[in-house]
Amino acid sequence: MIKNSNKTHDLRVALVTGGSGGIGHAIVKELADNGFAVAVHYSSNKLKADTIVNEIVKKGGKAISVGGDVADEKCMQEAFDMVEERFGGIDVVINTAGIMILSSIAEANLADLDKMYRTNIWGTFVISKQAARRVRQGGAIINFSTSVTRTKLSKYALYVASKAAVESMTMILARELRGKDITVNTVAPGPTATPLFLDGKDKQTIDNFSKATPLERLGTPEDIADTVLYLATSGRWINGQVIFSNGGLA
């Protein structure tokens, strides 16, 4: 059951960018299990997105897949159009799409910097622009950052700079939507066991991250999905905030 007492429509609809990825997939599943119709966005892996959609539909849920580059305004406008045409509107937009390339500042490849900024900053702006125009009253916009904006780990400077921009956009958009009863927040996960996080890390590095939190484990995509579900439903008094879902990481 959807827990949002401020619900204004019989069918609540969510668009999840990066919905075929690790955290995105967990969020899609959590929303579908709680009665949302879900649009599963993918960048290149249409097969995986369609598989997720088929799983939801087989369980009696409502879902579609939508594809495209989040930084392409025309493409994302068409994606939002598709969701509205299929389900009648959009209540929640969750922007998990992002890439992470690690490098020291001294050795940074500026081509990698451009690639990451295109998705993480430009893409967030494009999605936020469409969401600000289309999300229905009582809805929510949820962006994604990282807890490394606070922990300041070496080799994360380029990635953190892109996510700090996301946090700033989020806080400003929350104020720009004054009077529309739409919340805008950012979730900043700590170390979470996803392909994006695990890629290129040896066992010792992963073990060190696991021990860094008081809970002495990595987060799971489901941990992050729980936070997102709360913000998308009953967390109506949380607005313009960065929520650190990181198990107590300092």
CA distance 200 to 7: 43
Angle at 196 between CA 193 and CA 198, to 5 degrees: 50
**Is 117 annotated in the active site?**
no
- CA–CA separation, 220 and 23 (whole Å): 8
Q: Give the whole-angstrom CA distance, residue 246 versus residue 250.
A: 9
- Out of 42, 117, 156, 159, the active site residue is 159
- Are 26 and 225 spatial neighbours (Cβ–Cβ below 8 Å)? yes
Listing DSSP states for 176-200 in one string gives HTTTS--EEEEEEE-SB-SHHHHTT
Compute φ and ψ for 189, nearest 5 degrees. Answer: -65, 150
3-state secondary structure (DSSP) of residue 63: strand
The catalytic residues are: 159
